[in-house]
Chains A and B, each alone.
Chain A
Amino acid sequence: MASVIKNLAEMTETSSTEPIYDTNWCNMPAEIKSKCISKMMLKERLSLRCTAKAERSLVDCQKIGFYRGRIRKYADRLVFSFYHDKSQMIRKRFRDTTKGYEFLNYICKVGVFENLMIAFDESAAQKEFEKYTGEITAKHVNLEYSTYEMVLPILLKMKDGVESIMMYDDGGIDYIFDEILAISNIWIDEDSKIGSTFQVFANENGSFNRLLMRFADRLVSKDERRVRIRTDNPDRHILLERGLDETVGIDYYDQYFRLMMISAEMKKSEYDDNCKEWIHKIRPGIYGEYSDLEYNLNKNDDFLK
């Protein structure tokens, strides 16, 4: 008992010798400041990082979660919209693109997005993404009106944990399907987890055949709708499915594809034949269930569910 009391006395003695507190933000230890910053919304963080260099470096080290974020070029401005949750939105517009890209760098570094939409179609933005050395953290990524050259640097910078990637283009930009299929290579190399999904629609014939040629030595099975290939991990296969139903027939102009990492144990009877849901995710309105207005709302305001 005596030794316990002695230890306790020593411990409390230590506590008593610490300095009397100063009651000012500047006297707070960095770890507490960081904890307070982590409770701030984007607007306040941006204000705080403008107050002094020391505050800026603290703010820049703190990740910030967003329900969704949109980064796009509108007219001659870079426009950023962020939702902390479904109701609280903050928007920043930059006419000065240098400042805009500086902000883009910051937000890519600290943002942790549930849903992230990037819509750019200019080479300056592409260079910025190429120059960016960090990772982009998002669960669901939506790339709109982004050129093929833009898409790859963004995808390559995505941090692990991406659950879905959507690419949508209304302006006739061509993505090279072979290169997009390179995602299979990435999955093979990085031993991605079961359930990882990659969906795309294309309007060029021969995509299935090209996958077959590329992975001929890994082929497990093939039919009109599905190609299944082996990965380096004996437990996992990759399934490429073509979405076909009563609306999207074999001769439909657009072709819908889904690449999915599956268990090697998965039986053919376990395949999901209902492709309506995932086709609809890539192409809202395809089944004619929306009016034009609803379609636009969906496309613009709820880009991922």
Chain B
Amino acid sequence: MSSTEQGTSSAAPAEPTTAPESAAAPEVPESFYYVHGKDKVVHKVSAGALQHSALIHGMISNLGYTEEQAKANPFPFENIDGDILQMVVDWCNQHKGKPTPPEDTNLPKQKEKLFDLVLAVNYLEIKELLTYCCKQVAMMVKGKSPEEIREIWMIPTDAEDEAAEKEAKKRAGKEAAGETAAAAGDAK
């Protein structure tokens, strides 16, 4: 894999950002893991930041990777666009060991990006970020009429939906008939 290691500014420091523990507690070196998205760009993320993701946290629990093993085995999330994964990683880093605030105003405003982020976050099981994202999605249609919502979210009318369904059935029927004819031709 041609991996471009991308140490995000917030991922790099290893010092814990959590509230100081008692002075007697020994310092445990922070472990790091690596993830990449569809663009194969590898992101280095601390285990502490990854705790936000129930999916990844479940994967790495008790894994006991050495730094080399972690580097050699980045988690591939090829169903997530690189820029979206970057946003997720940044968010996890920013909120590492911190209580999440009631609002997050740094989420993307563009529809496509936000929906991609929602889906990625849902897949990665990042509960708090999903809540923010869903709130942001809801805000997109604040004060809008049904027609405006239909336009913004490209929701087909029932009639359009039925027509598309009919068309799909017709196409599927034609394809099935074509396949049967081809199979019959092969048999001859």
Contacts and interface: CB of A to CB of B under 8 A. Distances in A.
A associates with B? yes
B77 A24 contact: no
Contact of B73 (A5, A47, A54): A5
Nearest to A37: B138
A48 interface: yes
A8 B60 CA distance: 9
Interface of A: 1, 4-5, 8-9, 11-12, 15-16, 18-21, 23-29, 32, 35-41, 43-44, 47-48, 50-55
Given A12-B76, A20-B38, 16 more contacts: A16-B76, A16-B78, A19-B79, A20-B79, A23-B113, A24-B154, A25-B154, A25-B155, A26-B156, A28-B115, A28-B119, A36-B134, A36-B138, A40-B141, A44-B143, A51-B149
A43 B139 CA distance: 12
Contacts of B153: 24-26, 51
Interface in B48-81: 59, 62-64, 69, 73, 75-81
B135 A39 contact: yes
A43 B143 CA distance: 7
Given A5-B73, A40-B141, A47-B144, A53 B158 contact: yes
Contacts, number: 113
B146 A39 contact: no
Given A23-B112, A39-B138, A47 B76 contact: no
Interface residues of B, number: 46
Interface string B143-164: 1111011100111111001000
A228 to B, nearest CB: 47
Contacts of A18: 79, 123
Nearest to A53: B158
Interface string B124-145: 0000001100110110011111
A11 B59 contact: yes
B116 interface: yes
A41 B138 CA distance: 8
A47 B113 CA distance: 24
Contacts of B38: 20
Contacts of B155: 25-26, 51-52, 55
